[in-house]
Amino acid sequence: MAITRDDVLNWIKSYAQAIEENCEMLTDLDREIGDADHGANMRRGFRAVLEKLPSVEDKDIGTILKNVGMTLLSKVGGAAGPLYSTMFTKAGMTIGAKMEMDLNDWAQALEAGTTGIAKLGKALPNDKTMLDALYPALNALSAAMGNGASVGEALQKSADAAHEGMLATIPLVARKGRASYLGERSAGHQDPGATSTYLLIKTAAETWTDC
């Protein structure tokens, strides 16, 4: 079975919806250890993405994802803008001009996006960042694929791992981003970036469960 262009579009819309619904929660998490704008910035970005989608929805998956990336870059600002932009742009470049993709394409796209984020943000695992949700999601995805899991199962395992990774940021002391200014005071709080990242993986699993 394959993940079609329409499935990809539905995932982006579903993520935009999740950002809308969790905007306040993301901002509250950011208020505790950052500067109280993560939810608002992501919402501004994904509202712009929803406006942009109709003009590219007849294009291939790579083009659509790259357009999402460019829109986020010019609308989100902060650190999340370039980082999420990189995720979508690198994923789009990896998938290329395809109208449908398989799980392997998705795993490669996710890996390219994650590598791009790691390079741009210069963060390592356990720095209390988006990567702490992304790396577990990637590892779980490839393990499930190795075990011959179905698309739905593999994506669900990936989302579960992202969820665990997100929760595992709570005791960590931040070493990147604005939360790092708090030093030890950043421990005991869930990372907002890891949280919005978990939602990204979760909405993919939910949207593509029957692919």
Partner 1 sequence: MKKLINNPEDVVKEELKGIELAHPDLVKVFYDPDFIVRADAPVQGKVALVSGGGSGHEPMHGGFVGKGMLDAACPGAVFTSPTPDQMLEATKAVDGGAGVLHIVKNYTGDVMNFEMAADLARDEGIEVESVIVNDDVAVEDSTWTAGRRGVGLTVLMEKIVGAAAEEGRSLKECADLARKVNGQGRSMGMALTSCTVPHVGKPSFDLPEDEMEIGIGIHGEPGRHRIKLEPADKITEMLLEPVVEDLPYKEGDEVLLFVNSMGGTPLIELYIVYRKAVEILDAKGIKVVRNLIGPYITSLEMAGMSITLLKMDEDLKKLWDAPVKTAGMRWGI
* Interface residue list for partner 1 (CB under 8 A): 27, 31, 34-37, 40-41, 44, 73-83, 120-121, 173, 175-178, 180-183, 185
Kindly tell me which of 3 and 68 has the beta carbon lying closer to partner 1. Answer: 68
Of 192, 116, 210, 198, the closest CA to residue 161 belongs to 198
Kindly tell me which of 72 and 162 has the beta carbon lying closer to partner 1. Answer: 72
Q: How far is CA 31 from CA 36, 113, 166, 176, in A?
A: 4, 27, 17, 16
Of 90, 14, 80, the closest CA to residue 42 belongs to 80
Kindly tell me which of 40 and 50 has the beta carbon lying closer to partner 1. Answer: 40
Neighbours of 111 (CB within 10 A): 18
In the complex, what is the shortest distance from the CB of residue 124 to partner 1, in angstroms, rounded to a whole number?
A: 10
In the complex, what is the shortest distance from the CB of residue 22 to partner 1, in angstroms, rounded to a whole number?
A: 15
In the complex, what is the shortest distance from the CB of residue 198 to partner 1, in angstroms, rounded to a whole number?
A: 20
Kindly tell me which of 77 and 96 has the beta carbon lying closer to partner 1. Answer: 77
Kindly tell me which of 81 and 136 has the beta carbon lying closer to partner 1. Answer: 81
Contact 162, 203 (CB under 8 A): no
CA angle 128, 142, 39 (to 5 degrees): 35
- Joined together, the tokens standing for residue 90 give 């690198």
In the complex, what is the shortest distance from the CB of residue 111 to partner 1, in angstroms, rounded to a whole number?
A: 21
Max Cα–Cα distance, the chain, nearest Å:
49
In the complex, what is the shortest distance from the CB of residue 32 to partner 1, in angstroms, rounded to a whole number?
A: 8
